[in-house]
Amino acid sequence: MIIQTERLILRDFKQTDLPAYKALCSHPDFQQFYSEEDAAPEKVAQLFNMFVVWATEQPRTKYQLAMEIPSEELIGSCGVRITSVDEKQGTFGCELGRAHWGKGYALEASRAVINFGFADLNLHRIYAETNSENLPAIALAKKLGMRVEGELRENRWFRGRWWSTTTLSILEQERS
């Protein structure tokens, strides 16, 4: 699976990507909105291995793709996962290494993945759930045309406090 944009290659993860993925996920700025458990190296490796397995499943319903700049290493990941085939629903997520923030890579990759979800996976609605304090993630979702659907107030406990979750979505007919 490969999606190419103007500056990026989005592709299935390879086992050789694990060290770069672990490094990306280990940065404190990256971890700030994750629980200690989710940010632990063993959990990151488990998540990574799940991405690799998803690429082999038939029929395939989950696409979490490695994001790379041609001639460079992994800089992040972006994906869409079908949550209901019958209802044509999918969830979206994007993560980018700290060194590459502010360059438009997340928006470029996300647009390509959202378009893939609607055009190739025939989804009707794609949604994202993020920590309500993760303002860059919320801003990205809004740039993609997503609208805030609501907030689950203080629904997660980690790092010694309660955190809320914001849900945003876009419908197929709303995409640009």
The residue ranges of every structural domain in the chain are 2-174
CA distance readout (Å), 115 to 22, 69, 70, 137, 145: 28, 20, 21, 18, 12
* Percentage of the chain exceeding pLDDT 90: 76
> What's the pTM value of the predicted model, to 2 decimals?
0.91
Confidence of residue 30 (pLDDT cuts 50, 70, 90): confident
Across the range 135-159, mean pLDDT stands at 95
More confident residue, 105 or 99: 105
DSSP string, 55-98: TT-SS--EEEEEEE-TTS-EEEEEEEEEEETTTTEEEEEEEE-G
Mean pLDDT of the chain, nearest integer: 92
Q: What class has domain 2-174?
A: alpha beta
Predicted local confidence at residue 159, as pLDDT = 87
Q: Give the Cα separation of 108 and 161 in Å (integer).
A: 34
Confidence of residue 176 (pLDDT cuts 50, 70, 90): low
Across the range 155-168, mean pLDDT stands at 94
> What is the Cα gyration radius of the chain?
16
Q: Give the Cα separation of 5 and 52 in Å (integer).
A: 22
Across the range 84-94, mean pLDDT stands at 93
Q: Give the Cα separation of 19 and 74 in Å (integer).
A: 10
Predicted local confidence at residue 31, as pLDDT = 80
